[in-house]
Amino acid sequence: MKMMKNVALLAALLALVCVCEGVTFGQLCQGNPNNNPRLSDPLGAGHYGAPRGSRTHQGLDIICNDGSEIYAPFDLTITRGLVVYNDPTKAAIDRGLVISGEGLCVKLFYVEPDRTSGSVSKGQRLGVMMPMQSVYPGITSHVHVELCNKQNPTQYF
């Protein structure tokens, strides 16, 4: 009996792994059809693991001009809205979304959402890129993409 439960658990875990394996994000931001990442600029680098003072960057930054539309990268469910900083000096870019689909849970930072719940089909609008230049002049404006489990999202792009 115990062995059957372990086999069932292993099968369920393998099914979850397989769901994510073939996932590739569709276009996330208007004007960036290839999801080009933020490289290095005067304020840092946008790759996963980039240094951020005493910590490391927990996501991948995808280039997106301020005011551009943000699209669903796959069929998804919007789980909730989120507050990025909770810092009044960064209020202009303090919003985002938690989305799930394709076996992934993803946080998108710096997005003014159209809504904070419900199902959305791939390619449909999720919201608008917030005015990053107003908070970080000279940075390459971007959507920060972070997996809820803090693993590296780069393989999905």
Model pTM score: 0.86
Average pLDDT over residues 57-83: 98
Structural domain includes residue 92: yes
Structural domain includes residue 16: no
The pLDDT confidence band at residue 68, using thresholds 50, 70 and 90, is: very high
User: Three-state SS for 84?
Assistant: coil
Question: Cα separation of 47 and 58, whole Å?
Answer: 9
Question: Cα separation of 76 and 78, whole Å?
Answer: 7
Domain of 33, in residue numbers:
24-156
Structural domain includes residue 14: no
- Both tokens assigned to 17: 């792994």
Q: Are the beta carbons of 127 and 70 closer than 8 angstroms?
A: yes
CATH of the domain at 121: 2.70.70.10
Structural domain includes residue 33: yes
The pLDDT confidence band at residue 11, using thresholds 50, 70 and 90, is: very low
Question: Cα separation of 94 and 83, whole Å?
Answer: 6
Structural domain includes residue 61: yes
Structural domain includes residue 15: no
Average pLDDT over residues 68-72: 98
Q: What are the residues facing 94 on neighbouring strands?
A: none
Q: How many domains does the chain have?
A: 1
Q: Which residue has the tokens 């276009």?
A: 27
User: Three-state SS for 74?
Assistant: coil
Structural domain includes residue 38: yes
| pLDDT(101) > 80 | yes
Q: Which residue has the tokens 């780069």?
A: 154
Convert the pLDDT of each residue in 104-137 to its tens digit: 999 999 999 999 999 999 999 999 999 999 999 9
User: 65: burial class by Cβ within 10 Å (0-12, 13-18, 19+)?
Assistant: middle
Question: Cα separation of 40 and 138, whole Å?
Answer: 11
Structural domain includes residue 52: yes
